[in-house]
């Protein structure tokens, strides 16, 4: 598995496995299957309500802890100094781990500065190897970077062929923040798996549309999360390191860019209110 460095020298596998929307009763086996398929980077969150099952899957895998890269995220209600300090140990307990490799602020709301201060302290204590953010606009990411001791290692944002975020990717890299893509397949929206351009590129290399999309992100050195509960698809999605896209391929993919989220705007006041009202009680 190819790895890339984040700004403090920590190596992260460029292709990870996400467990968003995987029901807890399925998560343990899915994580076991993903690790067996070759994934070494597993991404969960407090809000996914499956940290416990992720931890069980890790424990039952045959892979040593130090070979795995585990990410979790702090939900909005816990985004404050005390919130992080009070909830992070719960995440560790549910995961059954002594440390996580990456801890993210899941959404750019609440007391992000207090939360960041707590995360810096936990990193110093060795409970987190790298700290970062998720769903932050570039200006918010740069602001957080400039006025704190530690620059975010990662900003996990929506990136897919319909929302390519080219300027954001370059701006984050310029600030020393590694972009990480969620929803690379846009959750199947706009019939992405039947897209003619992506399908024709895939035929050239005997690859699927999903493999073309993952390769497109890997070649940008964007960390990317793929998700499936199907072991065959897991193996397929990780098999993207034996071909390269041409400039012509990349230019064709660029024409698919709509330039807007395929889900919702994180600047929408109504969405902010809805997310803020989502309480986990962890």
Q: Where are the domains of the chain?
A: 3-276
In the CATH scheme, what is the code of domain 3-276? 3.20.20.100
pLDDT in tens, 73-97: 999 999 999 999 999 999 999 999 9
What DSSP assignment string belongs to the chain?
A: --EEE-TTS-EEESEEEE-TT--HHHHHHHHHHHHHHT--EEE--GGGT-HHHHHHHHHHSSS-GGG-EEEEEE-GGG-SHHHHHHHHHHHHHHHT-S-EEEEEESSS-S-HHHHHHHHHHHHHTTSEEEEEEES--HHHHHHHHHTSSS--SEEEEE-BTTB--HHHHHHHHHTT-EEEEE-TTGGGGGGGGG-HHHHHHHHHHT--HHHHHHHHHHTTT-EEEE--S-HHHHHHHH--SS----HHHHHHHHTT---S-SS--TT-HHHHHHHHT-----
Given 48, 99, 109, 205, which residue is catalytic?
48
Mean pLDDT of the chain: 96
pLDDT in tens, 257-273: 999 999 988 989 999 99
282 pLDDT more than 90: no
pLDDT band, residue 172 (cuts 50/70/90): very high
113 labelled catalytic: no
Q: In a 10 Å sphere around its CB, with 0-12 CB exposed, 13-18 middle and 19+ buried, how is residue 70 labelled?
A: buried
Give the pLDDT confidence score for residue 1 in this predicted structure: 85
pLDDT in tens, 201-251: 999 999 999 999 999 999 999 999 999 999 999 999 999 999 999 999 999
Could you tell me the pTM of the whole model? 0.96
**CA–CA separation, 13 and 229 (whole Å):** 20
pLDDT band, residue 62 (cuts 50/70/90): confident
């Amino acid at each position: 598995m190819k790895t890339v460095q984040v700004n403090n020298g920590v190596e992260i596998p460029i292709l990870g496995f996400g467990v968003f929307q995987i029901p807890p009763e399925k998560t343990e086996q899915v994580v076991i299957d993903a690790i067996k398929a070759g994934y070494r980077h597993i991404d969960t969150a407090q809000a996914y309500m499956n940290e416990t099952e992720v931890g069980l899957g890790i424990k039952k895998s045959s892979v040593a802890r130090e070979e795995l890269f585990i990410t979790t995220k702090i939900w909005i209600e816990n985004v404050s100094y005390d919130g992080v300090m009070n909830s992070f140990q719960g995440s560790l307990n549910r995961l059954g781990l002594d440390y996580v490799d990456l801890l993210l602020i899941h959404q750019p709301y609440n007391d992000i500065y207090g939360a960041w201060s707590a995360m810096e302290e936990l990193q110093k204590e060795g409970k987190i190897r790298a700290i970062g953010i998720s769903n932050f606009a570039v200006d918010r990411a740069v602001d957080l970077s400039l006025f704190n001791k530690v620059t975010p290692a990662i900003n996990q944002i929506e990136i897919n062929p319909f929302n390519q975020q080219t300027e954001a990717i370059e701006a984050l890299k310029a600030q020393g923040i590694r972009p990480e893509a969620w929803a690379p397949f846009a959750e199947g929206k706009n019939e992405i798996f039947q897209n003619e351009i992506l399908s024709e590129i895939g035929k050239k290399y005997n690859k699927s549309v999903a493999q073309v999309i993952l390769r497109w992100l890997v070649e940008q050195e964007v960390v990317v999360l793929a998700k499936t509960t199907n072991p065959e698809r897991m193996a397929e999605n990780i098999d993207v390191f034996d071909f390269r896209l041409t400039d012509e391929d990349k230019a064709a993919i660029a024409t698919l860019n709509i330039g807007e989220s395929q889900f919702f705007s994180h600047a929408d006041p109504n969405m902010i209110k809805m997310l803020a009202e989502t309480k986990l009680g962890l």
